[in-house]
Amino acid sequence: MSDATEAGEPAEPTGSDEGGAGGRRVRVVLVDDHRMFRTGVQAEIGRTDITGVEVVGEAADVDQAVTVITAARPEVVLLDVHLPGGGGVEVLRRCSPLMADAGNPVRFLALSVSDAAEDVIGVIRGGARGYVTKTITGTDLVDSIFRVQEGDAVFSPRLAGFVLDAFASTDAPPVDEDLDRLTQREREVLRLIARGYAYKEIAKQLYISVKTVESHVSAVLRKLQLSNRHELTRWATARRLV
Amino acid sequence: MPEAAAPPLDAVRPLRKLYRSGDGRWLGGVARGLAGHLGLPVIWVRLIFVGLFTADGLGALLYGAFWFFVPLGIGGVDAERPPAAVTTDTSPDGRRRLVARKPDKGQIVALLAMVVVSMVFVGNVDLDGSTKAYVVPTLLVAAGVALVWRQADNARRARWMAVGRRRRTLTLARSAAGVLLVGAGVSGIFVLQGSAAHLGAVLQAALAVLVGIALLAGPYLVRMTQDLSEERLMRIRAQERAEVAAHVHDSVLHTLTLIQRNAERASEVRRLARAQERDLRVWLYKPEGTGKDEDEEPDTLAEAVRHSAAEIEDKHGVPIEVVVVGDCSLDDRLTAQMQAAREAMVNAAKYGGEGGAVQVFAEVEEEKVFVSVRDRGPGFDLDSVPDDRMGVRESIIGRMQRNGGTARLRAVPGGGTEVELVMERTATT
């Protein structure tokens, strides 16, 4: 497992660094069946004194992940979508009590190379707070980890595209108007994410605050997770055929 | 439909085996199958059968024999009928399968006509009274046997379709009906022979023998079918494994070798890795696209965007991330928009590639198509570009305007340039 090299070192991150800004620390568990990838991510983000991210555990399959997460109680889990033993969705299912814990919730950020819509939508529906692709840069990943830790949602451009696509088809009447439709503003925000804008840029573009952007994105995530529309799953499957 | 692009059937089937046609048939598909086999128009074959039918029902006998013994197959389609008529669909796992077709009108008419004609025929045939009495039971037996035998056809078709789509109950009901018909026919014959008194005893004895056989052979048969299906599964798995291995060997290993050779040239390594990644993604996640060559001309908007992005990525070594929402087919105006988008991507890759990946977003809406291409380069000011530099003005802005769309270039707050292209969609699409 992790050899926590940190051990109360007083060296605080330089204030300019995005991730470690304000001296925050976040404890992370890495779940991925590729040891090489775990090592790479660990090297990129696990320099605790610089990034503020402390990797407190690693796991390579579903059973191991559940054990490690339960024992380490991290704030954020970086979760691979494809895992032996049932995949990321299974980890989410078995860790749902930890996610629901109001005092010290464990939050999940899906991290995958997969390009398939149903993989992505699957983990999001399973309760993950966001999804990023493995090509993401170290800085962006650290940024995403902090955002998830604060309870925010993290959408990659691709995920935003998937969501826009899924909510675009209006052939079936929505079961719940509030959940099954995106508001105009949410749609705008998603479009800008899909176009590669960062939250700050979106805020500037739409003349709103970053906080408002965050709340729009969180609202979309909630709709995605709670939405009754069964065609979401169907859409994800059909998407492969397009 | 990829079927439309398939070469003519004769070219791909050097070994012409006679099959009954499962497609576009009226009755058993015999005529169509024969026509395909002999290279004759179907209507000729059908006329010949009708002609033979008048000769003491020889046609019917022949037809029946063919129906019985020739296996059902796909194809056997006559030349002028496009092969696309075979209805296929793609299941979620990407495999093609035949779609169960509802019998069309022609089929029902043909069936009815056949029943009427045979009634008349049977009525007209001059048989003496005692023989005539056997006609009905014989027909019953024949119908029962046909019903059960045709089951084989359905089993065959079910294999083309997704496994388990046909409800088992239907199969059972069918077999039961067949057995019942045969039983009734045989009993009828017994009754006519006057041995009805012994019928009960005979049936009991027959039943006992059947049960005995079932007890003896049952386990063996079950075992055999299990073994067979297991073997088939293993074979399919082995085949899939071989396919994966072949692909990995052909493309991935080659790319890795090339990367090792070009290790000191970072841009080349990146280019190779990106190209391979794209290729592998298409292969893994889009089973539909596997047969499609990248060089083929794209015919939908999403394909066109991805196609251009891939080419430019290869050429300039700058990663281009593409997100497409919705899709539609290309018309003249959208083609123009795609050309403008391509130009914008080239510019972004050339002048803004150092800042990171170029991001392309295309959305197909009800009434318009929106495309945005953004880079994170040093930025670009249209006013500062001398008038003689026609690249942007002509091939992006001018092209869009000529085709009734709009193009907008602007600096992004966070750095870089974004090109926005909007084109109205034609009402018909």
Q: Are strands B417-424 and B368-374 parallel, antiparallel or unpaired?
A: antiparallel
Contact criterion met (CB below 8 Å) for A96 and A127: yes
**What CATH number is associated with residue A211?**
1.10.10.10
Angle at A154 between CA A242 and CA A89, to 5 degrees: 65
Which of B 142-201 lie inside 8 A of A, CB atoms? none
Residues A72 and A157 in one domain: yes
Residues A225 and A143 in one domain: no
Which DSSP string do the residues of A106-130 spell out, in sequence order? -EEEEEE----HHHHHHHHHTT-SE
Check pLDDT > 80 for residue B235: yes
- Cβ of A197 within 8 Å of Cβ of B92? The answer is no
The complex scores an ipTM of: 0.77
Angle at B287 between CA B284 and CA B290, to 5 degrees: 90
CA A240 remoteness from chain centre:
23
Contact criterion met (CB below 8 Å) for B348 and B324: no
Interface of A to B at Cβ within 8 Å reads: 114-116, 135, 137, 157-158, 160-161, 164-165, 168, 191, 194-198, 200-201, 204-205, 237, 240-242
Kindly list the residues from chain A whose CB atom is less than 8 angstroms away from the CB atom of residue B418.
195
Residues A113 and A147 in one domain: yes
* DSSP H helices in B286-409: 301-316, 332-352, 390-392, 399-402
* Residue B238 Cα, gap to closest chain A Cα (Å): 21
Check pLDDT > 60 for residue B273: yes
pLDDT at B292: 47
Confidence class of residue B257 from pLDDT cuts 50, 70 and 90?
confident
Of A135, A161, A241, the CB nearest to B325: A161
CA distances A53 to A81, A90, B314, B414, B428, Å, are 21, 25, 36, 26, 54
Q: List phi, psi (to 5°) of B419.
A: -110, 125
Contacts with B33 (C-beta within 8 Å, 6 or more apart), sequence order? B18, B19, B20, B21, B66, B70, B73, B76
Residues A145 and A52 in one domain: yes
Kindly list the residues from chain B whose CB atom is less than 8 angstroms away from the CB atom of residue A116.
285
Coil, helix or strand at residue A29: strand
B282 touching A (Cβ < 8 Å): no
Beta-bridge partners for B407: B421
Q: Could you tell me the residue ranges of all domains in chain B?
A: 30-77+103-155+167-228, 301-424
Contact criterion met (CB below 8 Å) for A129 and A104: no
The domain total for chain A is 2
The per-residue pLDDT string of chain A (242 residues; one tens digit each, 9 = 90 and over) reads: 444 443 333 443 443 444 444 567 899 999 998 888 889 888 888 787 788 888 899 998 899 999 999 998 999 999 988 888 888 888 988 888 888 777 788 999 998 877 677 778 888 888 899 898 877 888 888 989 998 998 889 988 888 988 888 777 655 566 666 666 788 899 999 999 998 888 888 898 899 999 999 999 999 888 888 776 555 666 655 655 43
Beta-bridge partners for B406: B422
Closest chain A CA to residue B303: A242
Contact criterion met (CB below 8 Å) for B377 and B355: yes
* DSSP H helices in A31-74: 35-45, 48-51, 62-72
Kindly list the residues from chain B whose CB atom is less than 8 angstroms away from the CB atom of residue A240.
92, 94, 285-288
Closest chain B CA to residue A163: B325
H helix or E strand, kind and range, residue B204: helix B199-247
Q: What are A189's two structure tokens?
A: 């925000």
Kindly list the residues from chain A whose CB atom is less than 8 angstroms away from the CB atom of residue B287.
240
- Cβ of A200 within 8 Å of Cβ of B327? The answer is no
Residues A191 and A144 in one domain: no
pLDDT at B372: 92
Residues A144 and A226 in one domain: no
pLDDT at B84: 40
Residues A198 and A162 in one domain: no
Long-range contacts, B189-193 (Cβ 8 Å, 24+): B189/B134, B189/B137, B189/B138, B189/B141, B192/B133, B192/B134, B192/B137
B328 touching A (Cβ < 8 Å): no
DSSP B126: -
A210-226 vs A199-206: helix crossing angle, rounded to 10? 110
Residues A51 and A142 in one domain: yes
pLDDT at B381: 62
Q: Are strands B20-21 and B96-98 parallel, antiparallel or unpaired?
A: unpaired
Contact criterion met (CB below 8 Å) for B288 and B260: no
- Cβ of B285 within 8 Å of Cβ of A114? The answer is yes
Angle at A232 between CA A230 and CA A233, to 5 degrees: 80
Q: What are A155's two structure tokens?
A: 């959408």
Q: Which CATH class is domain B301-424?
A: alpha beta
Kindly list the residues from chain A whose CB atom is less than 8 angstroms away from the CB atom of residue B359.
157, 195-196
C-alpha span between A95 and B195 (Å, rounded): 75
C-alpha span between B408 and B403 (Å, rounded): 15
Kindly list the residues from chain B whose CB atom is less than 8 angstroms away from the CB atom of residue A135.
319
Kindly list the residues from chain A whose CB atom is less than 8 angstroms away from the CB atom of residue B284.
115
- Cβ of B323 within 8 Å of Cβ of A242? The answer is no
Residues A132 and A70 in one domain: yes
Q: Which of A168, A191, A214 is the last residue of a domain?
A: A168
* Residue A192 Cα, gap to closest chain B Cα (Å): 9
C-alpha span between B235 and B239 (Å, rounded): 6
Of A161, A196, A241, the CB nearest to B324: A161
Coil, helix or strand at residue B114: helix
Beta-bridge partners for A58: A30
pTM over 0.80: no
Residues A83 and A100 in one domain: yes
Q: What share of chain B is helix, strand, coil (3-state, %, to 5)?
A: 60, 10, 25
Q: What are B83's two structure tokens?
A: 């092969």
Contact criterion met (CB below 8 Å) for B341 and B373: yes
Closest chain A CA to residue B419: A195
C-alpha span between B253 and B257 (Å, rounded): 6
How much is the mean pLDDT over chain B? 74
Q: What are B263's two structure tokens?
A: 């290790």
Coil, helix or strand at residue B418: strand
Domain that holds residue A222: 177-239
Kindly list the residues from chain A whose CB atom is less than 8 angstroms away from the CB atom of residue B281.
115
- Cβ of B323 within 8 Å of Cβ of A201? The answer is no
Check pLDDT > 90 for residue B360: yes
- Cβ of B412 within 8 Å of Cβ of A197? The answer is yes
B302 touching A (Cβ < 8 Å): yes
Q: What are A53's two structure tokens?
A: 């991210």
Contacts with B91 (C-beta within 8 Å, 6 or more apart), sequence order? B97, B162
C-alpha span between A27 and A18 (Å, rounded): 17
C-alpha span between B296 and B3 (Å, rounded): 15
Interface test with B, best of A132, A158, A195, A207 (most B CBs within 10 A): A195
C-alpha span between B209 and B211 (Å, rounded): 5
Q: Which of A110, A143, A168 is the last residue of a domain?
A: A168
**Which amino acid does the sequence have at B381?**
D
CA B392 remoteness from chain centre:
43
pLDDT at B80: 40
DSSP A6: -
Contact criterion met (CB below 8 Å) for B143 and B181: yes
C-alpha span between A85 and A61 (Å, rounded): 6
C-alpha span between A142 and A155 (Å, rounded): 14
Check pLDDT > 60 for residue B47: yes
* Residue B324 Cα, gap to closest chain A Cα (Å): 7
CA distances B393 to A134, B25, B345, B384, Å, are 37, 59, 15, 12
Q: Which of A168, A195, A221 is the last residue of a domain?
A: A168
A vs B, Cβ pairs < 8 A, gives 65
In a domain? residue A102:
yes
Residues A32 and A150 in one domain: yes
* Residue B94 Cα, gap to closest chain A Cα (Å): 7
Contact criterion met (CB below 8 Å) for A21 and A13: yes
pLDDT at A112: 82
Q: Tokens 């841009």 map to which residue?
A: B267
- Cβ of A195 within 8 Å of Cβ of B414? The answer is no
Angle at B158 between CA B153 and CA B162, to 5 degrees: 165
Q: Are strands A26-31 and B368-374 parallel, antiparallel or unpaired?
A: unpaired
Contact criterion met (CB below 8 Å) for A197 and B410: no
Model confidence over B332-353: pLDDT tens digits? 888 889 988 998 888 888 887 6
**What CATH number is associated with residue A134?**
3.40.50.2300
